[in-house]
Amino acid sequence: MKKVGVYICHCGTNIGGTVDCHKIAEELSSEIGEVAVCRDYKYMCSEPGQKMIRDDIAELGLDHVVEASCSPKMHEPTFRNAVSAAGMNPYLFEMVNIREHCSWVSDNPDAATDKAKDLIRGGIARVTHHEPLTGSKKSVNPTALVVGGGIAGITAALKIAKAGYQVFMVEKEEIIGGKMAQFDKTFPTLDCSGCILTPKTSEVGRNPHIETMTKSEVIEVSGFVGNFKVRVLQRPRYVSVEKCTGCGDCQQVCPINIPSPFELGMTTRHPISRPFPQAIPNTYSILRAGMPPCQSACPAGVNVQGYMTLTGVGKFDEALSLVRERMPFASACGRICVRPCEDACKRGQLDAPTAICFTKRFLGDHEKETGLQPNPPMKESREEKVAVIGSGPSGLSAAYYLSIEGYQVTVFEKLPVAGGMLTVGIPAYRLPRDVIEAEIANIRDMGVTIRTGITFGKDLTFESLEDEGFRAVFLSTGLHVSRKLNLEGEDLKGVMGGIDLLRKVALNEQVHVGKSVIVIGGGNVAVDVARTALRLGATKVDLLCLEARHEMPAWERELNEALEEGVTIQNSLGPKRFIDRDGKICAVEFKRCTSVFDANGNFKPTYDENETVELQCETVFVAIGQSPENNFTNSLGLETGPGGTVSIDTETMSTNRPGVFAGGDCTLGPATFVQAVAHGRQAALSIDSYIKHGGLREIRPAERKVAPEIGEAEKNRARPIERSAMPVLPPEERKKSFEPIELGFTAEMAMTEGQRCLACGMCCQCGECVRKCGPQAIDLSETERIRELEVGAIVVATGIDIFDAGKYPEYGHGKYPDVITNLQFERLCNASGPTGGKVVRPSDGKVPKSVVFIQCVGSRDRAKGYEYCSKVCCMISAKQLSIFKHHNPDGQAYVFYIDNRAGGKGYEEFLRRAIEQEEAQYIRGRVAKVFEEGGRLIVRGENSLVGHPVEVEADLVVLATGLVPQKDYMNVGRAINLSTDRYGFFMELHPKLGPVETSLAGIYLAGGCQGPKDIPESVAQGGAAAAEVLALFSMGQVEIDPTVANLDERLCTGCRTCVGMCAYNAISFDEQRKVASINQALCQGCGTCAAACPVAAIEVQHYTPDQIFAQIEGILAS
């Protein structure tokens, strides 16, 4: 029989006051045979207590020890060491928690004693099944990661680096320094915060052992103490830290101003800037929120915010050049685009979207006026030839971008004119010929050859192009065949395809249009046909379509214009037959269309054949869609998809034939102009890559998108300007000719539209700074990247946030400009702050006479804020009123407080000075309300010492906002696997004895992320965390817990259930021996494999079923 020694701790009266330890000891000695000795003692963790255990092991030859006292989280290591010292394997020991789980939570001593006895009995039963275990040793990687670059993190990093170890510092913001960088002075010494911080930050910058990663966040930590693997997400700074000289030329040309987060919105900054002159890294960086919705909505990805901003400041040529980076046809696009950008524009959620399209059109018009042709810079000329088949928007766009890349491009066009549908599909009143001709001329001027009147398949083939030395072909032949109804009488004289009419008109061919015209179709082409017919002399034009009015695919704007011009629209009618007189059309019979789409939204019209309408006419145009020339695509030997469209890879635009790419309508079916242009550019990039590398283009990760809903910050940025309306010709005038209807924006209108932009993406990537930067340090194409680090220890010092004063609407923060938070007050005092260090009212810049401080905003308030005391606000207000008085000795400060908390070295004395020397009036009581009366702020509260309401007139009100966890504490906690308390502060290992350790070995806490604290405490914790890290590094190796999974191969059936369970890939399947195999170095000991194993072949050492079963039986034995 095994010999077990049992020791029961009184823990003073903590246990002994409730649990009758002595009685249990006596009973257990007699009741359980294995118990060789059972003692109770006042403090088992004390040296005499530990010695008692050591002596018993030696003298009585104990096999096991059970110790019943506090939580094993507290003293398990202590007692394991004690038994080790006596030569016992530490895993032959078991600890029973009778304090936290028993004496402290029981109010009935008898019941508590019974409970403690049960628990100890469980421990005794369990321990007899314990086996000696030895953990393996792993070396420690002597590299540290410090998460957070505030004063706590800086302190830790400097101390670790000073000892000669490598440190990675990961900081979320663009600079290090944290909240302390925003403070003006520190209490109680009134030291200048910057003066004591910046030597530290620059030391971090200089130290060769510290590598700082700004705008970065830890997203995943794996591994274990001494051997962590960390994934860090690095957001782009866009400005190279190595190349930037900090000259500041860039910010002078930046056209955007946004509220400065560092200055808490009290002033603006340019997206390219640095928060203050001594910031570390002492280089510029760019704030970019992500891709703005206008740009993400644009199929061509045109940088809308960029050119709108540039237009807003009158830089029209630069704006046009930016448009042309993605869209060669500014003028055409500005007239005919479907404008997904304007639908997405967030200004639309406020009043009306910015007039993006009209502004772009203005840029094109401006170009025509000035004759300048701003294009993106051309790259070096190359010899390779590329053929483009079809000169529509897609083909010309491909030609344009290929030409920019330096290629020799020839465009082959079947029709006698270039432009594709732009020229022969869109009526001149929407897109005047001279406009499109000028844009095509621009493409020609860039060196693109356009040969018209050449039919691919007849005059040219792939083979002949190859023979002529063309390295690649881009096919963009569009859809030029009018789809037919396939009804009786469709080939009658007077019945014609819609796009055939548009083409003939565009090519000045003879067309006969009768006085009364029927147009069949509900799309944009049908509307164009109807309006063209009017202009050709028709007096009565009826447009009939299957769809109900709201289902019509045609643009609402176009439909309205058509209605204004006199077109009549009849909905829900489908043609039944064409009726002739002498072989010529004279009427069309229509039947009622009951529904157009089926339940799944597919086009599947149903009719009521009995309800018919007959309509007289002289001419009918059928505009129900287009298709490619079937016999043509069939002859190419290319794979085709639905409707005869050419099949392509949507990322690279490549067809199944090497070197042949395709895009635009011939691949998409009827699509939009802007999609066609996007295809052209995408194909150009792929062709470039195909020719240069023989492969297909690299696909870069897409930029993160800005949230589509408008936020407060954007609303605040909105300048109160109304959307400009486009001047148009009156309907009676316009229907007489093909003169353009829209007259265009003036420069002033375009500029005001540019100024309406909300700058949703913050930096608009207009490129002004890039052009200005001498050392070429700016790269706007930088993207997020993930960096993997290997470190041995981690210090988490992610800091603290300031309570959102908006949660107390009665205090008027955000409503009255002269109600500010205490952090804003710090910036007001600061020499590099928004006022250059003058303490003045934000509203009018006047020096305030009376300043009221309101304490405990967000702290000690269970209802609206947080229950805890933020610890620093009393001192901050005392400091701030002192600074105020030093700036303005005639001023008067008032403080509404709950209690003055001034625990700390020199704190109380400082507070007394604020009251006695600075003559601040401290009024005890909560403030009910801050309101404006007669142009002054009134603070109404209660003086709870005299029990009277008080009102104080204030020029400036400062809210002493509390300290709260960082908004993203949850993300950080999950990435690093930290526990949080109920507020969101990270939990230390022990509130008294483990203030910087966490429950995870090798991960330590410092500063505000663990709870509200002031600077000296944060610094002390930073140092303490560094000491923990250095202790770990100097040990050189760590013992890995032997509590890992163990497989009994004799039992394993090879079912592989465990393989799928393991989250750490520690279990593999041995194919040869047909059993599972556990890599104990990777095993974390979670035991989920053991619980899942159907034959119980896996056990976690020290947590075996035998041990647990014994413990259950022991506990329940009474």
Partner 1 sequence: MTRFEPKIIAFLCNWCSYVAADAAGVSRFVQKPNVRVIRVFCSGMVDPSYVIKAFASGADGVLVAGCHPGDCHYLAGNIKALRRSFLLRKLLSELGVEEKRFRLEWIAASESPLYAKLMNEMIEDVRNLGPCMPSSQKPLKGVA
String marking each residue 948-977 x if it binds partner 1 according to CB under 8 A: -------------------------xx--x
**Residue 707 binds partner 1, judged by CB under 8 A:** no
d(CA 412, CA 392): 10
CB of 239 within 8 A of CB of 272? yes
**Residue 77 binds partner 1, judged by CB under 8 A:** no
d(CA 418, CA 1013): 72
Min CB(314)–partner 1 separation in Å = 52
**Residue 111 binds partner 1, judged by CB under 8 A:** yes
**Residue 114 binds partner 1, judged by CB under 8 A:** yes
**Residue 122 binds partner 1, judged by CB under 8 A:** yes
Q: Which stretch binds partner 1 (CB under 8 A): 37-45, 481-489, 838-846, 1090-1098?
A: 1090-1098
**Residue 539 binds partner 1, judged by CB under 8 A:** no
Min CB(984)–partner 1 separation in Å = 9
**Residue 1105 binds partner 1, judged by CB under 8 A:** yes
d(CA 558, CA 563): 9
**Residue 8 binds partner 1, judged by CB under 8 A:** no
Min CB(982)–partner 1 separation in Å = 4
Q: Which segments of 515-555 does DSSP mark as H helices, in order?
A: 524-535
| CA-atom Rg of the chain in angstroms | 39
List the one residue from 60, 105, 507, 743 that touches partner 1 (CB under 8 A).
105
Min CB(1008)–partner 1 separation in Å = 17
User: What SS3 class is residue 125?
Assistant: helix
Min CB(1087)–partner 1 separation in Å = 3
Min CB(223)–partner 1 separation in Å = 13
Tell me which residue has tokens 């079947």: 414
**Residue 899 backbone zone (phi > 0: left; psi -120 to 50: alpha; other: beta):** beta
d(CA 357, CA 166): 54
Min CB(866)–partner 1 separation in Å = 14
List the one residue from 119, 327, 388, 750 that touches partner 1 (CB under 8 A).
119
**Residue 979 binds partner 1, judged by CB under 8 A:** yes
Nearest residue (CB) to partner 1, 487 versus 1001:
1001
**Residue 713 binds partner 1, judged by CB under 8 A:** no
d(CA 1111, CA 1109): 5
d(CA 74, CA 109): 23
Token readout for 591 is 């039947």
The secondary structure of residue 377, as a DSSP letter, is P
Size of the site for partner 1 (CB under 8 A): 52
**Residue 913 binds partner 1, judged by CB under 8 A:** no
Q: Which stretch binds partner 1 (CB under 8 A): 354-362, 465-473, 619-627, 1108-1116?
A: 1108-1116
Residue 951 burial (CB count, 10 A): 13
Nearest residue (CB) to partner 1, 98 versus 448:
98
Tell me which residue has tokens 């040529």: 317
The secondary structure of residue 550, as a DSSP letter, is G
First-to-final CA distance of the chain: 21
CA atoms within 13 A on the CB side of 57: 24
Q: Which stretch binds partner 1 (CB under 8 A): 254-262, 574-582, 716-724, 1098-1106?
A: 1098-1106
d(CA 202, CA 281): 8
**Residue 73 binds partner 1, judged by CB under 8 A:** yes
Min CB(42)–partner 1 separation in Å = 20
**Residue 1090 binds partner 1, judged by CB under 8 A:** yes
d(CA 78, CA 45): 7
d(CA 183, CA 179): 7
Angle value at C-alpha 394, between 393 and 396, nearest 5 degrees: 65
Min CB(1094)–partner 1 separation in Å = 11
- Strand runs labelled E in 34-81: 35-41, 64-69
d(CA 42, CA 507): 107
d(CA 670, CA 526): 13
List the one residue from 507, 1063, 1081, 1095 that touches partner 1 (CB under 8 A).
1063
**Residue 1113 binds partner 1, judged by CB under 8 A:** yes
CA-nearest of 183, 163, 161 to 1018 is: 183
**Residue 1112 binds partner 1, judged by CB under 8 A:** yes
Min CB(1101)–partner 1 separation in Å = 11
Q: Is the peptide bond before 281 cis (omega within 30 degrees of 0)?
A: yes
Please name the amino acid found at residue 364: G
CB of 455 within 8 A of CB of 464? no
List the one residue from 991, 1050, 1065, 1071 that touches partner 1 (CB under 8 A).
991
Q: Which stretch binds partner 1 (CB under 8 A): 2-10, 520-528, 894-902, 980-988?
A: 980-988
Question: How distant, in Å, are the alpha carbons of 35, 463, 554, 640 from that of 667?
Answer: 85, 22, 21, 8
Min CB(115)–partner 1 separation in Å = 5
List the one residue from 104, 555, 597, 931 that touches partner 1 (CB under 8 A).
104
**Residue 81 binds partner 1, judged by CB under 8 A:** no
List the one residue from 987, 1020, 1059, 1082 that touches partner 1 (CB under 8 A).
987
CA-nearest of 1030, 1021, 965 to 996 is: 1021
Question: How distant, in Å, are the alpha carbons of 80, 251, 598, 603, 1048 from that of 606?
Answer: 83, 63, 9, 10, 70
**Residue 115 binds partner 1, judged by CB under 8 A:** yes
CA-nearest of 99, 1, 95, 103 to 53 is: 95
Please name the amino acid found at residue 573: L
**Residue 220 binds partner 1, judged by CB under 8 A:** no
Nearest residue (CB) to partner 1, 79 versus 429:
79
**Residue 924 binds partner 1, judged by CB under 8 A:** no
**Residue 938 binds partner 1, judged by CB under 8 A:** no
d(CA 896, CA 349): 41
**Residue 1061 binds partner 1, judged by CB under 8 A:** yes
**Residue 999 binds partner 1, judged by CB under 8 A:** yes
Please name the amino acid found at residue 1108: I
Phi, psi of 540 (to 5 degrees): -130, 115
**Residue 1111 binds partner 1, judged by CB under 8 A:** yes
Nearest residue (CB) to partner 1, 884 versus 969:
969
**Residue 106 binds partner 1, judged by CB under 8 A:** yes
Nearest residue (CB) to partner 1, 122 versus 275:
122
Residues 1066-1085 that bind partner 1 (CB under 8 A): 1084-1085
User: What SS3 class is residue 112?
Assistant: helix
String marking each residue 1031-1050 x if it binds partner 1 according to CB under 8 A: ------------x-------
Nearest residue (CB) to partner 1, 730 versus 1060:
1060
**Residue 85 binds partner 1, judged by CB under 8 A:** no
Helix (H) / strand (E) element for 474: namely: strand 470-475
List the one residue from 1, 47, 87, 107 that touches partner 1 (CB under 8 A).
107
Q: Which stretch binds partner 1 (CB under 8 A): 98-106, 146-154, 241-249, 1030-1038?
A: 98-106
Q: Which segments of 286-371 does DSSP mark as H helices, in order?
A: 293-297, 304-312, 316-324, 330-336, 340-344, 356-370
**Residue 13 binds partner 1, judged by CB under 8 A:** no
Nearest residue (CB) to partner 1, 866 versus 884:
866
Q: Given the rule CB under 8 A, which residues bind partner 1?
A: 71-73, 97, 99-102, 104-108, 111-112, 114-115, 118-119, 122, 973-974, 977, 979-982, 987, 991, 999, 1043, 1061, 1063, 1084-1088, 1090-1092, 1096, 1100, 1103, 1105, 1108-1109, 1111-1113, 1115-1116
